[in-house]
Amino acid sequence: MSKKLISIFVPCYNEEENVSFAYQSLIKTTRAIKNYVFEYIFIDNGSTDETQKEIEKIIAKDKRIIGVFLSRNFGPEASAQAGFDYAKGDAVIGFPCDMQEPVNVMPKFINKWEEGYDTVLGIYSKSEDPIFMKFLRKSFYGIMKTISNVDIPINSSGYGIYSRKVVDAMMSLPEKYRFVRGIRAWVGFSTSFVEYERKKRKFGHSSYTFMSYFRHAERSVFGFSYLPLDFLIYFGFLFVILSFLFIIGYIFLYFLFGNPILGGVTILVAIVFFGGVNLLGLSIIGKYIQVIVEETKDRPNYIVERTLGRLHE
């Protein structure tokens, strides 16, 4: 009976100090997991430091390593998609190169998968991230759990294992405006969870800025929720009713007390307020139109400059 193949892909962007450490940690952990064959795919997302050279070094000494080098930085979602595209295993694990996720929980992922779960997600019970970032992340996923049309677990990470049928289902979706955590929830299948503690970054600094998180949030909101559009409908309907009541009340006051409300101030306030509401509404609609435009362009989510190492036929 042939051994099952498990693919581990490692997204990298400016991780020159972490590549070798991540590789050694993976090899040490997977060596102790018997009855499986492993392949390791390092995805370089257009790094500007020595990350590519570090990946080339580990490929030169280990034929199980595959290097996929993108032509520029296409964003974290592109790294994940490239990892899934190049993985040929019966199951696929995504492991971030920053080493904040503990590599020693991989056996738990695999055991859960062998129990019959198609997706096993990492859930961090504790995190050593800055307090402000923990608050933002938890608040965001709490909001998404409420407004989204799919169930995205709070404190879930991109670290986990996916069966081949889950990977094939996710990669069969043609959309370009991708949010992997939403897509994996949308495709369904049986899911389990493994808790762990999220550590501080091992080396270097995160390339994620506040705007990076904001754009990531945009992808989830406009890709997996129609609540902003629904909100505009409810908001508009509410103001139609309030405007009608205001007109009735103004007529009532006019006949009783003359003209007690200063017209100039009233008009100015109304123009500023409703102008802001209109601008907000147009902006929300514009974001959904942006998603439509991105989809109709039909551009690939990433371009591969070159690959190194053994690739499957």
Q: What is the pLDDT of residues 21-52, one digit of tens each?
A: 888 888 888 888 888 888 889 988 888 888 88
Cα 284 from Cα 293, distance rounded (Å) = 14
Share of the chain above pLDDT 70, in %: 69
Higher pLDDT, 164 or 156: 164
Decide if pLDDT at 284 tops 70. yes
**What is the reported pLDDT for 313?**
42
Report if residue 183 sits inside a domain: yes
Decide if pLDDT at 4 tops 60. yes
Decide if pLDDT at 1 tops 60. no
Number of structural domains (the chain) is 2
Cα 52 from Cα 46, distance rounded (Å) = 9
Report if residue 137 sits inside a domain: yes
Select from 39, 193, 179 the least CA-distant residue to 119. Answer: 193
Report if residue 219 sits inside a domain: no
pLDDT band for position 88 (50/70/90)? Answer: confident
pLDDT digit string, tens, across residues 64-73: 888 889 888 8
pLDDT digit string, tens, across residues 184-238: 777 878 888 888 877 776 665 655 555 666 666 666 666 666 667 677 777 777 7
Share of the chain above pLDDT 90, in %: 0
The side-by-side arrangement of strands in the sheet containing 191-198 is 191-198, 119-127, 156-163, 91-94, 4-12, 36-44, 65-70, 304-309
pLDDT band for position 61 (50/70/90)? Answer: confident
Task: Determine how many CB atoms are found less than 10 A away from the CB of residue 227.
Answer: 15
**What is the reported pLDDT for 26?**
87
Mean pLDDT of 284-288: 75
| Look-up of token digits 């049309």 | 149
pLDDT band for position 312 (50/70/90)? Answer: very low
Q: Note the pTM of the prediction, 2 decimals.
A: 0.70
Mean pLDDT of 110-127: 82
Residues 6+ apart with CB under 8 A from 239: 274, 277
Q: Does 58 share its domain with 167?
A: yes
Cβ-based burial of 173 (10 A; exposed 0-12, middle 13-18, buried ≥19): exposed
Q: Does 107 share its domain with 232?
A: no
Query: Hey, what are 257's tokens?
Result: 């007390």
Q: Does 248 share its domain with 178?
A: no
Give the dihedral sign, CA 202/205/209/210. positive
Q: Does 177 share its domain with 235?
A: no
Q: Does 168 share its domain with 279?
A: no
Cα 17 from Cα 47, distance rounded (Å) = 12
**Domain of residue 305, residue span:** 4-213+300-309
Report if residue 218 sits inside a domain: no
Q: Does 153 share its domain with 185?
A: yes
Count of H helices and E strands in the chain? 10, 8
Looking only at the bridges linking them, the beta strands covering 156-163 and 304-309 are: unpaired
Residues 6+ apart with CB under 8 A from 86: 7, 9, 41, 43, 66, 68, 311
Spacing of C-alpha 257 from chain mean position: 59
pLDDT digit string, tens, across residues 89-103: 888 988 888 777 888
pLDDT digit string, tens, across residues 135-151: 666 666 666 666 666 67
Phi-psi region of 35 (alpha: psi -120 to 50; beta: other; left: phi over 0): left
Q: Does 208 share its domain with 238?
A: no
Report if residue 171 sits inside a domain: yes
- Start-to-end CA span in the chain (Å): 21
Q: Does 13 share its domain with 143?
A: yes
Q: Does 79 share its domain with 103?
A: yes
Report if residue 221 sits inside a domain: no
Report if residue 222 sits inside a domain: no
Task: Determine how many CB atoms are found less than 10 A away from the CB of residue 278.
Answer: 10
Q: Does 179 share its domain with 265?
A: no
Report if residue 220 sits inside a domain: no
Select from 105, 70, 178 the least CA-distant residue to 96. Answer: 105
Q: Does 136 share its domain with 164?
A: yes
Average pLDDT over the chain reads: 77
Q: Does 242 share its domain with 145?
A: no
Cα 145 from Cα 121, distance rounded (Å) = 16
CATH number (domain holding residue 99): 3.90.550.10
